[in-house]
């Protein structure tokens, strides 16, 4: 117990999502590969985090955009309201709404970080949370992360490409989200109509005809294809600490693009 506030060792995992941040980090790699922004399935994220509850922080932007008519604005607001209601109806998912202030480049979400911090502290002080997973990247969340760590909560920050390094330093765990994660977090209907390369580990070097070879951060890389069927393999050799990895897809350019978005560029031999 701490100061009579009921802080004990028992607790659950709660997931806290800065929805505006998640949307931006999700959309960028999805657009880069699929040429579409995709569609997020909050249920999948909750299950992956093993979270007992999810708190989802978002805003309805009721400020007209440049060139947007009153009718288009009203339609967009109604659609956003419906989206948040649907998310709030998901099992053990709770939506917290802030407000949008400003125009153009000065437009910002307000009250979201404050509400999130209040919720996280309250959940710790009531003793229900021992692990918090935060999907966010803004430095404004550092004080609450550091406070929870000091109170004994195991805090994990899941983040995309854009994140404050000090926020990561303040957390107990850090997880870099990639296109592979975001695809997994997409709705079943999106995944059914948008295929991506498959990944397998420790399957050994695939057969087939060698097209190219190179290296990726040291390990050997092989690009192979089959003369009997339209399939391509990109094989990354294993190391003492890492398993070998094979990516498989039916289109060579898409396969190479997908791997580069997740792992970075490969140094191909001339």
pLDDT recorded at residue 3: 41
Mean pLDDT of 59-81: 82
Contact between 198 and 249 (Cβ < 8 Å): yes
For residues 72, 24, 33 and 55, what is the CA-based torsion angle, rounded to 10 degrees? -100
Band (pLDDT 50/70/90 cuts) for residue 108 is low
Question: Could you tell me what percent of the chain has a pLDDT over 90?
Answer: 78
Q: Residues 12-191: name the CATH superfamily.
A: 5'-nuclease (3.40.50.1010)
Asked if pLDDT for residue 146 goes beyond 80, the answer is: yes
All CATH 3.40.50.1010 domain ranges in the chain, comma separated: 12-191
Asked if pLDDT for residue 13 goes beyond 50, the answer is: yes
Band (pLDDT 50/70/90 cuts) for residue 89 is very high
pLDDT recorded at residue 228: 85
Question: Could you tell me what percent of the chain has a pLDDT over 70?
Answer: 91
Please name which of 243, 237, 235 lies closest in space to residue 202, comparing C-alpha atoms: 243
Contact between 131 and 149 (Cβ < 8 Å): no
Asked if pLDDT for residue 60 goes beyond 70, the answer is: yes
pLDDT, one tens digit per residue, over 202-259 is 999 999 999 999 999 999 999 999 988 899 999 999 987 789 999 999 999 999 999 9
pTM of the model: 0.89
pLDDT recorded at residue 76: 85
Residues 168 and 92: their CA atoms lie apart, in Å, by 27
Tokens 């990895």 map to which residue?
245
pLDDT, one tens digit per residue, over 152-165 is 999 999 999 999 99
Q: Which two tokens stand for residue 5?
A: 């506030």
pLDDT recorded at residue 109: 62
């Amino acid at each position: 117990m701490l100061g009579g506030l009921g802080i004990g060792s028992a607790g659950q995992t709660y997931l806290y999502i800065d929805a505006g941040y998640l949307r931006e980090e999700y959309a960028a790699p999805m657009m880069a590969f699929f040429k579409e922004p995709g569609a997020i399935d909050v249920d999948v994220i909750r299950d992956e985090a093993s979270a007992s509850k999810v708190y989802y922080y978002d805003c309805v932007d009721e400020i007209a955009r440049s060139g947007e008519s009153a009718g288009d604005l009203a339609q967009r607001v109604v659609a956003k309201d419906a989206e948040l209601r649907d998310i709030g109806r998901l099992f053990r998912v709770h939506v917290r709404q802030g407000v949008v202030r400003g125009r153009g480049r000065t437009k910002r979400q307000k009250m979201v970080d404050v509400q999130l911090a209040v919720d996280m502290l309250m959940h710790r002080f009531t003793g229900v949370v021992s692990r918090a997973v935060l999907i966010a990247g803004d430095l404004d969340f550092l004080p609450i992360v550091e406070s929870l760590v000091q109170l004994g909560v195991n805090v994990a920050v899941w983040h995309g490409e854009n994140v404050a390094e000090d926020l990561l330093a303040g957390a107990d765990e850090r997880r870099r989200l990639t296109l592979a994660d975001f695809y997994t977090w997409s709705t079943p209907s999106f995944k059914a109509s948008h295929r991506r390369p498959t990944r397998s580990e420790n399957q050994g070097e695939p057969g087939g005809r060698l097209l190219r070879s190179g290296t990726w951060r040291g390990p050997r890389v092989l690009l192979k294809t089959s003369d009997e069927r339209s399939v391509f393999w990109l094989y990354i050799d294993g190391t003492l600490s890492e398993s070998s990895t094979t990516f498989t897809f039916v289109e060579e350019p898409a396969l190479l693009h997908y791997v580069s978005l997740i792992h970075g560029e490969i140094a191909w031999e001339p």
